[in-house]
Amino acid sequence: MTFHRTTRQALTSAALALSASAALADVNLLGDTLSFMRAWPNVETQYISSIPDTVVAAGTSDQVSWIVSGSNYLTFDPEAHEIRLFGNRTAAYGAGNSSFDGYVISGFDHDIQSFTLTNSTSYGVTLSLLDPRSLAINLNGTSSGAMTIGIALAQPVPEPASMAMLAAGLGLIGVAVRRRKQVG
């Protein structure tokens, strides 16, 4: 009886530890390969030159900039839970009356659950999701100043095969316990 109770407690502890570790996993941007696109007059159209992709790492080694004719217009600094933008251009990029004048960031490894904008400059910035893993930043024509976009990513959902393997393993442990109880 003591063996059975001990085994049940061990199984319960293992299941709780497994579920707690999955729930507490820090889902962040580190290791994601992000793509940045300067877009105008809509989110689908690249404007002038391309921006290099970057693999997100801690620190400033992963910073990328949109540079045209030797002038740096905007720098992106992605970190674990945020993307910082620094701009030095005070005039509009493109002609007025466009539906979009900004940047599209894609390549997130997990779905974006929510986002926040802080340290916004005086111009009207709007953020929107194009799909669960792409974010649009409409600068409405100007980009002077600094801002931070906080990003919360959704926890990954375990694949059905992983859950089936877990259930099968727990079932085999249960069979072993039952056989040992019948023998003893």
> What pLDDT, on the 0 to 100 scale, is given for residue 82?
96
Single-letter amino acid code for the residue at 88: N
List, for residues 158-184, the tens digit of each pLDDT value.
677 766 777 777 777 877 777 877 776
State whether residue 137 is helix, strand or coil: strand
List, for residues 135-163, the tens digit of each pLDDT value.
999 887 666 788 899 999 998 776 777 66
- Shared domain check, 66 and 8: no
- Shared domain check, 136 and 78: yes
- 41 preceded by a cis bond (ω within 30 of 0): yes
User: What is the domain count for the chain?
Assistant: 2
- Shared domain check, 120 and 86: yes
Q: Where are the beta strands (DSSP E) in 23-174?
A: 33-39, 54-55, 64-68, 71-78, 82-87, 102-106, 112-118, 126-131, 134-138, 145-153
Sheet holding 71-78, edge to edge: 64-68, 71-78, 82-87, 145-153, 112-118
Contact indicator for 148, 119 with CB cutoff of 8 Å = yes
- Shared domain check, 92 and 20: no
Domain around 108: 33-153
- Shared domain check, 55 and 14: no
Return the DSSP state at 53: -
Q: Decide if pLDDT at 122 tops 70.
A: no
Angle at 67 between CA 141 and CA 55, to 5 degrees: 105
> What pLDDT, on the 0 to 100 scale, is given for residue 125?
84
Whole-number Å distance between alpha carbons of 103 and 140: 11
pTM over 0.85: no
- Shared domain check, 99 and 51: yes
Return the DSSP state at 156: P
- Shared domain check, 117 and 75: yes
